[in-house]
């Protein structure tokens, strides 16, 4: 079902997983596939839905999705991101284009953008505090243009 994807080091994901003493189960494979196919950030529920879509075999347990996501994050294959509402979203780490999130407090909408100033920020924070910023998790909150105009709460 998953067709030999490769990671940053050129090894297949399957190899990477087995090399860490873990197993490539059907469910893990499906989750990997879903993550790879889904565009942006997805919740565990969404991933579970996608995975349960091709309902040829039995539905997988939600807890299995959670456990796998945790494992994959641990392995660095997936990144987790908690936006402003106790909901965690996951994303395939190899997604090439780094992007950032404008999160509107007014309407709740999210927009993904590239922000040059973040490079400067990364450098500054590293120099001043020795802290290595992970831009993939950067949520920029505020008010979108629309919400600033009409205070449409």
Partner DNA sequence: ATTACTGCAAATAATTTGCATCTGG
Partner DNA sequence: CCAGATGCAAATTATTTGCAGTAAT
| Interaction site with a second copy (CB under 8 A) | 82-86, 88, 102, 104-105, 111, 113, 115-118, 120-121, 123-125, 128-134, 137-145, 148
CB neighbours of residue 48 within 10 Å: 22
Q: Which stretch in 67-75, 110-118, 121-129, 142-150 sits in contact with DNA by CB under 7 A?
A: 67-75
Q: Write down the least CB distance from residue 15 to a second copy, Å.
A: 22
d(CA 44, CA 88): 8
Q: Write down the least CB distance from residue 46 to a second copy, Å.
A: 17
Q: Which stretch in 1-9, 56-64, 120-128, 142-150 sits in contact with DNA by CB under 7 A?
A: 56-64
100 forms beta bridges with 113
In the list a second copy, DNA, none, the entry touching 66 (Cβ below 5 to 8 angstroms by class) is: DNA
Residue 69 and residue 80 in contact, taking contact as beta carbons nearer than 8 Å = yes
Residue 143 and residue 106 in contact, taking contact as beta carbons nearer than 8 Å = yes
Q: Write down the least CB distance from residue 79 to a second copy, Å.
A: 10
Q: Write down the least CB distance from residue 104 to a second copy, Å.
A: 7
d(CA 36, CA 94): 9
- DSSP-derived secondary structure letter, 61: P
């Amino acid at each position: 079902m998953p067709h030999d994807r490769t990671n940053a080091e050129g090894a297949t994901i399957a190899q990477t997983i087995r090399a860490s003493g873990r197993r490539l189960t059907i469910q893990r494979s499906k989750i990997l596939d879903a993550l790879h196919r889904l565009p942006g950030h997805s919740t565990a529920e969404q991933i579970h839905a996608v995975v349960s879509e091709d309902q040829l075999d039995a539905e997988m347990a939600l807890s299995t999705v959670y456990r796998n996501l945790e494992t994959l994050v641990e392995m660095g294959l997936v990144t987790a991101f908690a936006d402003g509402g106790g909901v965690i979203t996951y994303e395939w780490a190899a997604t090439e284009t780094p992007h950032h999130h404008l999160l509107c407090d007014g309407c709740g909408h999210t927009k993904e953008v590239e922000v040059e100033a973040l490079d400067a920020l990364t450098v500054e924070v590293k120099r001043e505090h020795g802290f290595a910023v992970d831009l993939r998790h950067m949520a920029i909150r505020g008010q979108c243009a629309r919400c600033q105009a009409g205070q449409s709460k």
